[in-house]
Structure 1
Amino acid sequence: MNLLALADFNLVARHGGFGKAARAASRPKATLSRRVAELEASLDLRLFERGGHRLKLTEEGQALYERTGALLADLEESTAAISAGGQRPRGRLRISAPLLFSHVALGKLAAEFALKYPEVRVEITTEDRAVHMVEETYDLVIRINPAPQERLVGRVFMRDRLVVVASPAVARPAGDDAVPVVVRGQEDTRDTWDVVTTSGPSSIAVQPILRLSSMLMVRDAVRAGAGAACLPLSLASRDVADGRLVQWGELDAPEIALWTLYPSRRFLSARVSAFVAHLKEAFPNGTPDELAAYIDA
């Protein structure tokens, strides 16, 4: 297989068309078209659906792109590192990360990383959706409790858990009385919360009175006395310690695990390895207390 043709195929697939790829790489459009045609002929496969305003990958083309894109990027990174005399982190590092972690910690983490590795250009996109790493050209994604994906590997770097908290002015209900609560988004439709305390498990009847789009908004509303809420321990622990909030117990729910994910452990780029190590250095034990201390530092 012609490696140059494969690289040009990935270039066209990444940019979604021959013209866009040619402009991005300052290459003749005709050359890219010829190289892709040669690759299709050598494989006896059609890799693109021609026609319309945007080039579309065939099923075979999508599979080839997913399996070779990261390998070609790793090869380019390795070649650049060798020519520079070592595995020094350099180049563009694109990261996708969830909203809450980004808002409370990732700005500071990214600044520290940029000062440590000035040859790396960090780009961070903040969103909770599960991005497609290859199609959207991310080097690393940070996700909360991700679903298993056979093409991605990674590791947990932080564990947290949900606690039920309220302002001291909000009394914990007795019996079956419902307490007003603040929830995030529309997905929480429960009418009771199962809570674990030092005296054992119990259930709290709840009545949502506010639905907000971020955990920081939920925390602020609870501080103001609007009702109770479920918050990550790392986000609530300082307020509990200072008496602004009272902890009613831990929510009986799976722990929150933050993962770093990337396409493959083989040929992992120096910049991705350096950022993963940077997270480990910031949170060596990966506990809620470490994240809380980092947020407040």
Structure 2
Amino acid sequence: MDLLALTDFNLVARHGGFGRAARESGRPKATLSRRVADLESGLDLRLFERGARTLKLTEEGRALHERTSVLLTELEETTAAIASGGAAPRGRLRVSAPLLFSQAAMGKLAGRFALKYRDVRLEVTTEDRTVDMVEEGYDLVIRVNPDPDARLIGRIFLRDRLLVVASPDLKRPAGLAPVPAVLRGGTGDTPPAWNVTRASRTRRIAVKPVLRLSSLFMVRDAVRAGVGAAQLPLSLVSGDLAAGTLLNWGDVEGPEIALWALYPSRRLLNSRVSAFLGVLKETFPMGSPEELASFID
């Protein structure tokens, strides 16, 4: 099999079209088209469905892309490592991270990484949706409590927990009286109560939504203003709790908040990914919410 043709096929598959692949790589569009056509002819398979304005992988093309893109990356990295004699990581590193972590810590973290690895071009995309690492060309994704995925491996690098917090001016509810609540998100279903544990005792706090906001930073600011109580991660309110500007009403019952760094399961780990994982470990050696709170202050 022609490795150059296979490389060009993966380039087109990753970018979703000949034109975009040509622009991103600086390769002539006609050359990419010819090499893909030669590969299809040699395999006697149609790898793309070509529409008037769209280009879509066939089932066979998708399978070939998924199984060969990682191998080609490993081959490229191995060749580069041998040629450089094990020099520092270099090249592009694409990372996807969730909104809250990006707003709170990723700028500072990315700056720290960039200063340490100047030959790596780090690109960070902020989004909460589940991305397809192979199809979208990501080297590493950071996610909160991700669903299991057999194609990915990873590690937890931070843990956090949810608290119900409120301004000292807001009195804790007595009996079944609902508390004014600031919620994150749209007009979806609202839980009738929060189960909160404090001093080994669990109680239900009835809630009455008074404000809905799309960002937890916005929720925190509204709680600081005394609008109502809210569920917020410890790392985001640790300073307020220490200063007494917010009070902790207790831990929210439920699974822990775990931040995972995920990457494709492969025999040879991308050296740039290894470097990024190393910076995460150096920055958060214990993986505690207090470390994150200290980092973002």
**Which consecutive unaligned segments of at least 5 residues does structure 1 have?**
none
User: Cα RMSD over matched residues?
Assistant: 1.5
1:188–1:167 distance in 2 versus 1, CA, 3 Å: farther
The answer to whether structure 1 residue 90 and structure 2 residue 83 are counterparts is no
* Conserved 8 A contact 1:185-1:211: yes
Match for 2:235: what amino acid?
A: S
Q: In the alignment, which residue of structure 2 is the partner of 1:189? A: 190
Query: What residue identity is the alignment partner of 2:24?
Result: A
- Cα 1:23–1:252 shift into 2, 3 Å: closer
Q: Match for residue 215 of structure 2?
A: 214
Match for residue 235 of structure 1?
236
5 Å-filtered alignment, 1:109-188, equals 109-186=109-186, 187=188
CA contact (8 A) 1:16 1:55 kept: yes
User: How far apart are the structure 2 equivalents of 1:223 and 1:172?
Assistant: 15
- Check the 8 A contact 2:70/2:266 in 1, yes or no: no
Counterpart position of 1:65: 65
Aligned-pair CA distance for 1:96: 0.7
Of 264-273 and 140-149, the range deviating more from structure 2: 264-273
Find the counterpart in structure 2 of residue 274 from structure 1.
Answer: 275
* Offset at residue 93 of structure 1 (A): 1.1
**CA distance in 1 between partners of 2:120 and 2:27 (Å):** 25
Report how far residue 174 of structure 1 moved. 0.5
Q: Cα deviations across residues 39-70 of structure 1 (Å, max 9, x unaligned)?
A: 22333321100222121111221122122223
Counterpart for residue 24 of structure 2: 24
SS where residue 53 of structure 2 aligns? coil
Is the Cα contact below 8 Å between 2:94 and 2:139 reproduced in 1? yes
- Matched position secondary structure for 1:71: helix
- How far residue 78 of structure 1 moved from its aligned partner, in angstroms, is 2.4
**How far is 1:124 from its partner?**
0.8
Per mean C-alpha deviation after superposition, the further-off stretch among 199-208 and 20-29 is: 20-29
| Residue 188 (structure 1) shift | 5.6
TM-score, normalising length: structure 2? 0.95
Do structure 1's residue 293 and structure 2's residue 266 form an aligned pair? no
For 2:182, the aligned partner's letter is V
Q: Contact conserved, 2:184 with 2:216, CA < 8 A, in 1?
A: yes
Matched-pair contact (CA < 8 Å) for 2:165–2:247: yes
Distance 1:104 1:259 in 2: 16
Amino acid at match of 1:274: A
Secondary structure of the residue aligned to 2:183 is: strand
TM-score in terms of structure 1 length: 0.95
Give the superposition deviation at 1:20: 3.2
Corresponding residue of 2:36 = 36
For 1:126-170, what per-residue CA distance to the aligned partner results, in whole angstroms no more than 9, with x for missing partners? 111111212221111100011111211111111111001000000
Distance in 2 of aligned mates of 1:92 and 1:188: 42
1:248 aligns with 2:253: no
* Stretch moving more, 47-56 or 37-46: 37-46
SS of the residue 1:206 aligns to: strand
- Structure 1 residues 123-132 or 32-41, which shifts more? 32-41
Partners of 1:78 and 1:269 within 8 A in 2? no
Aligned mates of 2:22, 2:127 — CA distance in 1: 30
| 8 Å contact kept, 1:166–1:222 | yes
**AA aligned opposite 1:210:** L
- Indicate the SS of the match to 2:94: strand
Report if the CA contact (8 A) 1:182-1:226 is conserved: yes
Tell me the SS of whatever aligns to 1:202: strand
SS of the aligned residue for 1:52 comes to coil
> Which segment drifts farther, 5-14 or 70-79?
70-79
Gaps of 5+ in 2: none
Preserved CA contact (<8 Å) 1:87 1:270: no
How far apart are residue 199 of structure 1 and its match? 4.5
For 2:161 and 2:65, the matched residues in 1 are separated by 38
